[in-house]
Structure 1
Amino acid sequence: MKALIISDSHGFEKELKLIADRHRHEVDALFHCGDSELPNGHEALEGLYIVKGNCDFNVDFPDDLTETIRGVTFYVTHGHLYNVKMTHVPLSYRAEENQAEIACFGHSHVATAFQENGVVYINPGSIRLPRNRVERTYCICECEGETIKITYYGFNGEVIPDLAFRFTRK
């Protein structure tokens, strides 16, 4: 199972579509963790599971969603409702409530991944306004056997080697 995870595109239309089109035929799901600032039904959002971010006004995206893709349960939210810039505890409660194996979030624009209590947390960073790095990032999560592998990419599709993560599935 492979999933593209992207967040905080903040109005980038062509850029978002370019990234989605680049990978859509190699992944099983495309997740956007909010702050697209695009209207529901916009062509750049075609085929993406998307949640509402704090900058998504007048749209009817859900605040969060839970999807099981080829046996892997993802919980996706923007993160602003769970105060992710300060702590991951409220997000962890919600992910565990939803029996998620992988929790995806954005809001902080900081590309990171970590595992806690059997749940893998992924923030893909931002393709528009990254923080703590120069690169504008997104990632692909791959679950194969007992391994969860997360590969981060720069905007142009180049792999970012120092943002590579591997976790053992619990």
Structure 2
Amino acid sequence: MKVLIMSDSHGLTTEIDDIKNRHINEVDFMLHCGDSELSGESSELIAFKGVKGNCDYGSNLPDEIIEELGDYTLYMTHGHLYNVKATLMNLKYRALEINAKIACYGHSHIAGAEIIDGVLFINPGSIRLPVLRRQKTYAILDVENTLAKVTFYEVNGREVEELSRQFTLE
């Protein structure tokens, strides 16, 4: 099962469409981890499951989404309600509470993937305002049996190899 994950696009539209059109036939679904600053009904986001970020004023999007991804539960939130800029502990507790093996979030604009206490955390970074690197990024998660491959891409579709990693889900 393949999932496209993006976050923190902060008003961009052409770039969302470009990424969506590039991958729409290869992924099973698409997630936006918040701060799109677009209406949930916008044509750019219509193909995405999305959550509300701290900059999504007046949005009717939910604060969190729980999805079944094959044998695993995926949890998505923007991250501001869990203080992810300081620690992943609060987000980890929420993921463990709902038995999620994968937690997707944004807010910090810092791209990365890591396993903490059996939970795979994925922050796709930002396609507008990256932090700690120059590349504007999004990610694709590919889960097959217990193998989870997280591949990061720049907005232009070029892979960011130093961020891309494989994990074993338990």
Q: Secondary structure at the match of 2:93?
A: helix
Show structure 1 runs of 5+ residues with no match. Answer: none
- Whether contact under 8 Å (1:29, 1:69) holds in the other structure is no
Partner of 1:108: 108
Offset of residue 52 of structure 1: 0.2
Q: TM-score under structure 1 normalisation?
A: 0.97
Instruction: Show CA shifts across 1:57-91 (max 9, x none).
Output: 01100011101133332100000000000000100
- Whether contact under 8 Å (2:40, 2:50) holds in the other structure is no
2: CA distance, partners of 1:50 / 1:88 = 20
- Whether contact under 8 Å (1:64, 1:76) holds in the other structure is yes
Query: Identity, % of aligned pairs?
Result: 49
1: CA distance, partners of 2:131 / 2:66 = 27
- RMSD between superposed Cα atoms in Å: 0.8
Task: Output aligned runs, 1:71-90, within 5 Å.
Answer: 71-90=71-90
Letter in 2 for 1:111: A
2: CA distance, partners of 1:24 / 1:53 = 24
- Whether contact under 8 Å (2:34, 2:78) holds in the other structure is yes
Letter in 2 for 1:44: E
Task: Output aligned runs, 1:1-170, within 5 Å.
Answer: 1-170=1-170
2: CA distance, partners of 1:98 / 1:145 = 20
2: CA distance, partners of 1:17 / 1:71 = 30
Letter in 2 for 1:158: R
Instruction: Show CA shifts across 1:87-128 (max 9, x none).
Output: 001000111112111100000000011001111000000000
Instruction: Show CA shifts across 1:15-73 (max 9, x none).
Output: 11111121111011101000000012100001101000000001100011101133332
Q: TM-score under structure 2 normalisation?
A: 0.97
2: CA distance, partners of 1:165 / 1:137 = 15
Structure 1, 107-116 or 65-74: larger mean CA deviation? 65-74
Offset of residue 5 of structure 1: 0.4
After TM superposition, which residue ranges in structure 1, 4 or more long, deviate above 4 angstroms?
none
Show structure 2 runs of 5+ residues with no match. Answer: none
